[in-house]
Amino acid sequence: MSLEKMKELQLEEKFLHPETREVNGILMAKMISDNWDKIWNFQAKPDDLLIATYAKAGTTWTQEIVDMIQNDGDVQKCQRANTFDRHPFIEWTLPPPLNSGKSARVSPTGLGPLSWVSFHPRGKSFLQLEGSEMSSKSQVLESESPTADLVLCPTVVNLVPEASISQGLTQGPQHSLDLANKMPSPRTLKTHLPVQMLPPSFWKENSKIIYVARNAKDCLVSYYHFSRMNKMLPDPGTWEEYVETFKAGKVLWGSWYDHVKGWWDAKDQHRILYLFYEDMKEDPKREIEKILKFLEKDISEEILNKIIYHTSFDVMKQNPMANYTTWPTSIMDHSISPFMRKGMPGDWKNYFTVAQNEEFDKDYQNKMAGSTLTFRTEI
Ligand code: PPS
């Protein structure tokens, strides 16, 4: 069977959209509900840093800023792997297939849904084979070389170039939690979980948390376009339908309103730095300085300016280790809508009709009543 045919059969058909399930009343991808016990029992450490957000609130941006801070502005070090591998997304399962690491060259065209490549943070690559016709259980080929030019498919064992992959089958990461568990400390992790669903070990260990919030309307617009281009999310339907779905909180990770309020209420009882996307956009220097203080890090003005530049929208949009363009188009199709889309507060005005906006505001007042949390919908 030709590789093109395999791609058609295995990627495009199998990754149409995921099944969803509720966990404690919150809509989640089935991969999360299936792994819920494992996620809930995740063991956090005191020196973990968790970046928590509602989806589309500026997670990747904050991840890049934090990584640049942790690596003293060394751009090369921040190019060691894609965002997903640098900072495990604790409730998510590594998607098939991934190409990560600056020098990795993996042809997406031949990749099967049951195999994928991921990078260990220390530069080793893992080729994971799951459910392949040749092996009934998961296997991982570990490689010292991140430069393998691989063509993967379910019968990948036969196709792996021997010179590129050093041998030995070991157990390797399947879920991001496994990646997190293997990662040396101090770790930086990502989550979209609502506060009440955060694994309790984070509270017990008093890990630091950066929460980033973004105004509801821009989050909605960004989430809508992301759901159109990302086949790992439920189909958003039409714009009109999606506005209602979002208001009802029937999107993955649940209600935006409950999420931002829940974390807001938690911030005074734990080590949580609560940031706003709009503030970051308005004055990145000021907000990065808040992060520096929270992380108890001192850097020179020169490095600070380097971080501001490297994490600007235009530069990150061109950075394959941060812009998700290394993912196969059968999962994320940037021609439908790029991951790095607009990055502008106030873009909602290009989508909401006057009537939709009035309705939204009315509903918003009800849902946010009694909270001291306020947002700017433009800057
Ligand atoms: S995800 O998938 O939930 O992790 O997405 P997330 O990273 O939280 O949010 C994606 C949106 O953030 C925008 N973005 C940025 N804006 C400004 N500056 C920088 N550097 C930046 N990086 C990412 C990205 O473009 C998405 O917003 P929209 O409005 O869709 O453009």
pLDDT attached to residue 147: 30
Cα(171) to ligand 1 centroid in Å equals: 33
pLDDT attached to residue 94: 67
Check whether 123 has a pLDDT greater than 50.
Answer: no
Note every long-range contact of 309-315, with CB atoms under 8 Å and residues 24 or more positions apart, other chains counting. 310/64, 310/68, 310/73, 310/75, 310/78, 311/61, 311/64, 311/65, 311/68, 311/284, 312/284, 313/61, 313/340, 313/343
Q: At what angle do helices 216-229 and 354-368 cross, to 10 degrees?
A: 110
pTM of the full predicted structure? Answer: 0.82
In this predicted model, which residue has the larger pLDDT, 364 or 7? 364
Alpha carbon nearest to ligand 1 atom 15, residue: 343
Q: From the CB of 78, is ligand 1 less than 6 Å away?
A: no
pLDDT category at 311 given cuts 50, 70, 90 is very high
Domain ranges in the chain? Answer: 3-93+184-368, 95-174
8 A C-beta contact, residue 68 and residue 113 = no
In tens, the pLDDT along 129-144 reads 333 332 222 333 333 3
Q: From the CB of 259, is ligand 1 less than 6 Å away?
A: no
Cα(57) to ligand 1 centroid in Å equals: 7
8 A C-beta contact, residue 312 and residue 284 = yes
How many Cβ atoms are within 10 Å of 44's Cβ, its own excluded? 22
Cα(219) to ligand 1 centroid in Å equals: 9
Q: What percentage of the chain has pLDDT greater than the value 70?
A: 74
Q: What share of the chain is helix, strand, coil (3-state, %, to 5)?
A: 40, 15, 45
What's the whole-number average pLDDT of the chain? 81
In tens, the pLDDT along 228-248 reads 999 999 999 999 999 999 999
In this predicted model, which residue has the larger pLDDT, 150 or 42? 42
Q: From the CB of 316, is ligand 1 less than 6 Å away?
A: yes
Alpha carbon nearest to ligand 1 atom 18, residue: 313
Residues in a beta bridge with 150: 106
Cα(345) to ligand 1 centroid in Å equals: 11
In this predicted model, which residue has the larger pLDDT, 79 or 13? 79
Cα(284) to ligand 1 centroid in Å equals: 14
Class in CATH terms, 3-93+184-368? alpha beta
Q: From the CB of 347, is ligand 1 less than 6 Å away?
A: yes
Check whether 96 has a pLDDT greater than 70.
Answer: no
Q: What is the mean pLDDT of residues 117-121?
A: 32
Alpha carbon nearest to ligand 1 atom 20, residue: 313
Q: From the CB of 311, is ligand 1 less than 6 Å away?
A: yes
Alpha carbon nearest to ligand 1 atom 30, residue: 222
Q: Which letter, b or e, does each residue of 132-144 get, where b requires 16 or more Cβ atoms within 10 Å of its Cβ?
A: beebeebbbbbbe
Which residues are known to be catalytic?
192
8 A C-beta contact, residue 93 and residue 175 = yes
pLDDT category at 4 given cuts 50, 70, 90 is low
Strands (E), 145-196: 149-150, 169-170, 188-191
In tens, the pLDDT along 179-219 reads 999 999 999 999 999 999 999 999 999 999 999 999 999 99
Cα(72) to ligand 1 centroid in Å equals: 23
Token pair recorded at residue 96: 């098939």
- Which atom of ligand 1 is nearest to 312's Cα? 20
Q: From the CB of 191, is ligand 1 less than 6 Å away?
A: no
Alpha carbon nearest to ligand 1 atom 19, residue: 313
In the block, tokens 């450490």 appear at 45
Q: How far is CA 150 from CA 11, 15, 96, 107, 147, in A?
A: 17, 21, 14, 6, 9
pLDDT category at 175 given cuts 50, 70, 90 is confident
